[in-house]
Chains A and B, each alone.
Chain A
Amino acid sequence: DAKTTQPPSMDCAEGRAANLPCNHSTISGNEYVYWYRQIHSQGPQYIIHGLKNNETNEMASLIITEDRKSSTLILPHATLRDTAVYYCIVRGRENRDDKIIFGKGTRLHILP
């Protein structure tokens, strides 16, 4: 089973910020939170990752709660090209038997 839970779908108006939540209440101390997205008919694309501090890059921001049991991916100005399935996963940096499971993700619809 996936170690994360996400809403199955969300809508966001074009130009607005898209905030995608993820719960990972069983995350352990050495596990990072990673976000990927998958646009239809393509392989997943890495977005961002973090351990406990908030992170920002050219694509998105990642807000991790202080207890690390949940996080939010923020796409600051959503465009139609951001329509995709977004996956939140937790994984260790070096774990030989890391049974990595992406789960079902959140299908984000950007509305014109």
Chain B
Amino acid sequence: KAGVTQTPRYLIKTRGQQVTLSCSPISGHRSVSWYQQTPGQGLQFLFEYFSETQRNKGNFPGRFSGRQFSNSRSEMNVSTLELGDSALYLCASSLVPSSYNEQFFGPGTRLTVL
């Protein structure tokens, strides 16, 4: 069974631009969570989606948004990029929401904002 896939793996953008990251969960998994990882702040929760609905949201500004499609694939969007948005963005999937012990992470998308 294929794991969680994220595209692209690496991305370079400039301040003020917007970016869209994609996540394909493990087949059969319907819950997708997004995390931001930076050296200074560690791993922080962004949001969780299940059945195309956002169930949970972390403490991030409105520039960070996401959505989930009917096939469970998810995208997250960051608008008006800032230098501080440079990070590794991780996606995790699970069968049902909040199944933290059955949550599998993808390899991440490394975003660099110049």
Contact = CB atoms under 8 A, between A and B. Distances in A.
Q: Size band of the A side of the interface?
A: 20 to 34
A101 B98 contact: no
Overall SS of chain A's interface: loop
A99 B58 contact: yes
B101 A101 contact: no
Contacts of B41: 104
B61 interface: no
Contacts of A99: 45, 58-59
A34 B106 contact: no
Contacts, number: 65
Nearest to B103: A46
Interface of B: 4, 35, 41-45, 55-59, 90, 92, 98, 100-108
A110 B71 CA distance: 41
Interface of A: 2, 32, 34, 38, 41-46, 49, 87, 91, 93-105
Nearest to B91: A43
B56 A34 contact: no
A99 B108 CA distance: 20
A100 B106 contact: no
Given A34-B100, A43-B92, A49-B100, A87 B43 contact: yes
Given A43-B90, A43-B105, A100-B58, A91 B100 contact: yes
Given A45-B105, A46-B102, A101 B45 contact: yes
